[in-house]
Amino acid sequence: MNTKQKIEALRDELRQHNYNYYILDNPTISDYEFDIKLKELQALEDKHPEFYDENSPTLRVGGAITKNFNTVVHDFRMYSLDNSYSKEDLLDWEKRIKKLVDGQVQYTCELKYDGASMNLTYENGKLIRAVTRGDGVQGDEVTANVKTIKTVPLQLRGDFPERFDIRGEIILPIDGFLKMNEERIANDEEPYRNPRNTASGSLKLQDSAEVAKRPLECLLYSIKGNNLNISTQFEGLQKAREWGFKVPKEAKLVNTIDEVLAFVNYWDTHRHDLPYEIDGIVIKVNNLYQQDELGFTAKAPRWAMAYKFKAEQVSTRLNEITYQVGRTGAITPVANLEPVQLAGTIVKRASLHNADQIEKLDIRVGDEVFVEKGGEIIPKIIAVDLSKRPESSLVTKYISRCPECYTELIRPEGEAKHYCPNYNACPPQVIGRIQHYISRKAMDIEGLGGETVALLVTNGLVTDYSDLYELKVEDVLPLERMAQKSAENLVNGIEASKQIPFERVLFALGIRYVGETVAKKLAKHYKSIDNLKMASILDLVGVDEIGERIAESVVEFFSSEENIRIVERLRAFGVQLEISAEKLANQTNKLNGNSFVVSGVFETVSRTELKKLIEDNGGKVSSSISSKTSYLVAGDKMGPSKRTKAEDLKIPIISEAEFLNMIS
């Protein structure tokens, strides 16, 4: 694998983990491993700026919005946190800070609550809305659910600002979590895996009455707003407490990194005395003026750092190895363990990743294995206790056929995973592709969810996504839990998807490596599926930012007769396979060759519209300023660091009006 491929592979892998973690609430690797991979990617990207991609997981908050709630754009962006696992990292961070700000620096140390982030907006002392972090720019509005949480005050007391946002973590205390699980086990239901995922999953429930039954809490840690009259982080915590919020008292104001470390060490050993789980400590520059000076990177504040605790370990017996098949046909081996208590939860399964991993550790059924869990739940086997290996033990033989369709597996050169090549008929692949097709960022089909897709396939009602368009109410009615109304919604939702624009249809087709951004680029360049179908590899790599790997995958997709047949069926049903005339009319090349950074709040158009205008007129939008930036479009409340950087690089800063002039 060359460097570029390595970078892309890491990006793909991390995106998948983000999806598992934030959307499915079902991570498959530990946080620690995730963070190591992210750092590996960061290091490669730093070394190779030529492979810059604004959509890289290093530059984006990992979450996303779902299609089940109103989407709300945050007044103040919600960031992630940089993290560290060592004293050296903290000292480096301190050095970086001291270079950027003058004077004494004090730090607020807080516990890092392990739950789901939440932004609450209060107006005149009343909670007016609650929104999840989502992708950091916009989130899901879950006010009704959050209002059921007793520690969220609906009416504030004391001297609060007229309007402000306050951020916190929705958590599920361990006691409450265990009680919920007792009940589930008694009812013969699968127990929940850990408090974090259960808290996060609860917020996504459609029925608030169901949420109200869960003993969730909201712990607050930060206030945002204009003219708040608060000058330090620590003071903010005190004020929030006075207004009626639950702000844990463990937070401590300190003067040196040594004191920070003492705080970290204390909580590393005492964290199990807390009624809820924490996955580390958050250290913040206390002075808000200094915070302002430090600003943000694309993804996290420079003025804060998470120190994460290392994973805990236990040993247990490996009973069986089973194999799962994913949407792309990738095979994942899973260790089925003798259930064991680990960091507050019962562990029964662990991921084994791939054949190499099994071979490297020489893992065998019957072995006593060491299992580790980071902040996250699917634990990992890190070693075998060879002293306890039974004499009869046999070397693990990796499967050679797909456990779902019995096709012989292949292992493409240079890849760690085995794949089932039965693209058209292997059930998990077929189902996974259709689930992708209907997903929010793709065809966004209302009234049809992932589980129903699985039912449709297993009942033989559809075999590929084009079959969806032939479904009738009476076909789906006999399905489990399907009522007249939901059957109608499903059929109507499918019908409505015929209006989805070409670029999203292209993404929905599920062509390997053709993500949202690539689909947009291809749609814009080729304008119709027929043009794209004719494109050669050479032709494709000529398109801005389309690499060889994508080009090969596109050509391969259209070389399959089956795919062509499906696309033709989509056409016959009226799915959009070309850019609409109206859209074409609004597109120009006026901004060709120019790259824009957009920052701040705008008056006549929203930030999203502004970005769309840039792209529709042939320009490029990028999230951070570099020597390649042509213009910085500056709105209200633009961060001071962006301005300084643009000035340093002598990049023209233009106003919204000046920009609109350029394209008028």
Ligand X SMILES: NC(=O)c1ccc[n+]([C@@H]2O[C@H](COP(=O)([O-])OP(=O)(O)OC[C@H]3O[C@@H](n4cnc5c(N)ncnc54)[C@H](O)[C@@H]3O)[C@@H](O)[C@H]2O)c1
Rounded to whole angstroms, the Cα distance separating 434 from 358 reads: 31
Query: Which is nearer to Zn ion, 153 or 428 (by Cβ)?
Result: 428
Residues ≥6 apart with Cβ < 8 Å to 62: 18, 21, 22, 80
* Integer-rounded Cα radius of gyration of the chain: 26
Q: Do the beta carbons of residue 375 and residue 35 sit within 8 Å?
A: no
The answer to whether 260 contacts Zn ion (rule: CB under 5 A) is no
Structure tokens at 607: 């930030």
Rounded to whole angstroms, the Cα distance separating 49 from 332 reads: 33
The answer to whether 402 contacts Zn ion (rule: CB under 5 A) is yes
Is 112 catalytic? The answer is: yes
420 is in an annotated binding site: yes
Q: Residues 241-264, buried b or exposed e (16+ Cβ, 10 A)?
A: bebbbbbbeebbebeebeebbebb
Structure tokens at 292: 């302002």
Applying CB under 5 A, among 405, 496, 537, 543 the residue interacting with Zn ion is 405
The answer to whether 176 contacts ligand X (rule: CB under 6 A) is no
Applying CB under 6 A, among 81, 223, 358, 409 the residue interacting with ligand X is 81
The answer to whether 31 contacts ligand X (rule: CB under 6 A) is yes
Q: Do the beta carbons of residue 118 and residue 168 sit within 8 Å?
A: yes
The answer to whether 107 contacts ligand X (rule: CB under 6 A) is no
436 binds, among ligand X, Zn ion, none (CB under 5 to 8 A by kind): none
Residue 601, strand partner residues: 636
27 binds, among Zn ion, ligand X, none (CB under 5 to 8 A by kind): ligand X
133 binds, among Zn ion, ligand X, none (CB under 5 to 8 A by kind): ligand X
156 is in an annotated binding site: no
Instruction: Tell me which amino acid residue 138 is.
Output: Q
6 is in an annotated binding site: no
How many residues of this chain bind Zn ion (CB under 5 A)? Answer: 7
Which of 81, 62, 74 has its CA nearest to residue 22?
62
Residue 219, strand partner residues: 169
81 is in an annotated binding site: yes
Rounded to whole angstroms, the Cα distance separating 539 from 528 reads: 15
Q: Among residues 98, 112, 150, 388, which one is catalytic? A: 112
Q: Whole-number minimum distance, CB 548 to Zn ion, in Å?
A: 28
Query: Residue 36: in which H helix or E strand, if any?
Result: helix 31-47
140 is in an annotated binding site: no
147 is in an annotated binding site: no
Applying CB under 6 A, among 34, 107, 309, 469 the residue interacting with ligand X is 34
506 binds, among ligand X, Zn ion, none (CB under 5 to 8 A by kind): none
Count of all residues that appear for the chain in the document: 664
Provide DSSP, 467-531: GGGG--HHHHTTSTT--HHHHHHHHHHHHHGGGS-HHHHHHHTT-TT--HHHHHHHHHHH-BHHH
The answer to whether 457 contacts Zn ion (rule: CB under 5 A) is no
82-101 positions binding ligand X, by CB under 6 A? 83
Q: Whole-number minimum distance, CB 27 to ligand X, in Å?
A: 3
Taking CB under 6 A as the binding criterion, the range among 26-34, 223-231, 259-267, 326-334 that sits at the site for ligand X is 26-34
Tell me, residue by residue from 276 to 315, as one string, x for binding to ligand X by CB under 6 A and - for no binding: ------x-----------------------x---------
Active site residues: 112
Give contact residues for ligand X (rule: CB under 6 A).
17-18, 20-21, 27, 29-31, 34-35, 61-62, 80-81, 83, 110, 112-113, 117, 133, 169, 221, 282, 306, 375-376
Could you list the residues known to form a binding site for NAD(+), using ranges: 31-35, 80-81, 110, 133, 169, 284, 308
